Chain A
Amino acid sequence: EDKVVQSPLSLVVHEGDTVTLNCSYEVTNFRSLLWYKQEKKAPTFLFMLTSSGIEKKSGRLSSILDKKELFSILNITATQTGDSAIYLCAVGDNNDMRFGAGTRLTVKP
């Protein structure tokens, strides 16, 4: 059965901390892995990863994929209160996208 597992489910840090969010997956036909940030309503796209070992970076956020070990990490450095959100990992195969349960990140001042 295809599945996407994110960890931790919940994380509380203070501003300035660095966090690492994990996403592991098992799907029959892998096409891409995506990270989304969901604050109040619509998830917003962060990264799409298709190749192993190539880091995608946007400001304080970065992500990398390991297709051999079937996982991805999302790093956030120098966290800010505005980073508080649910971070969703989704894995697309040839038929649909499967989402993990998300990691709820809370950044305290």
Chain B
Amino acid sequence: GAGVSQSPSNKVTEKGKDVELRCDPISGHTALYWYRQRLGQGLEFLIYFQGNSAPDKSGLPSDRFSAERTGESVSTLTIQRTQQEDSAVYLCASSLVWGDQPQHFGDGTRLSIL
């Protein structure tokens, strides 16, 4: 499809395990954004990429979180040594360039830490 694609759609894992979440942005979109949405809360900005560069990583909750992007395509968000408070929906969005609005969102990955 032509939209933002995220995988897996659901992930259940044990506390302490590492997880990797994937985002395929809309083709041609150079900017990519990661957000976290905890139950009943709004979206929390984590990190954005312009191309494969991430100028601002200050939104990442801890050093267990990291993100990479290959060129201007796929991005992965990795959470190491998962904790129960990491349980949330992780949403990815993309736009033509950074700052361009609106952002187009994927369906998210629902992460549950047991």
B is a partner of A: yes
Q: Known interface pairs A42-B91, A42-B107, A42-B108. Does A99 touch B42 (Cβ–Cβ under 8 Å)? A: yes
Q: Known interface pairs A96-B45, A97-B45. Does A34 touch B102 (Cβ–Cβ under 8 Å)? A: yes
Interface size on B, residues (CB 8 A): 23
Q: Interface of chain B, helix or strand or loop or mixed?
A: loop
Q: In the docked arrangement, what's the CA distance between A103 and B63, Å?
A: 32
A88 within 8 A of B: yes
Q: In the docked arrangement, what's the CA distance between A95 and B14, Å?
A: 34
Q: Give B residues with C-beta under 8 Å from A.
A: 3-4, 33, 35, 40-45, 48, 56, 59, 91, 99, 101-108
Which residue of chain B has its CB nearest to the CB of A95? B56
A88 touches B45 (CB 8 A): no
B99 touches A31 (CB 8 A): yes
Q: Give A residues with C-beta under 8 Å from B.
A: 4, 6, 31-32, 34, 36, 41-45, 48, 88, 90, 92, 94-102
Q: In the docked arrangement, what's the CA distance between A11 and B104, Å?
A: 26
A4 touches B42 (CB 8 A): yes
A97 touches B42 (CB 8 A): no
B101 touches A92 (CB 8 A): yes
Q: How many A-B residue pairs have CB under 8 A?
A: 52
Q: Known interface pairs A34-B101, A42-B108. Does A96 touch B56 (Cβ–Cβ under 8 Å)? A: yes
Report B65 CB to chain A, min CB distance, Å.
Answer: 16
Q: Interface of chain A, helix or strand or loop or mixed?
A: strand
Q: In the docked arrangement, what's the CA distance between A32 and B100, Å?
A: 10
A102 touches B59 (CB 8 A): no
Which residue of chain B has its CB nearest to the CB of A92? B101
Which residue of chain A has its CB nearest to the CB of B40? A101
Among B4, B42, B104, residue most surrounded by chain A Cβ atoms (within 10 Å)? B42
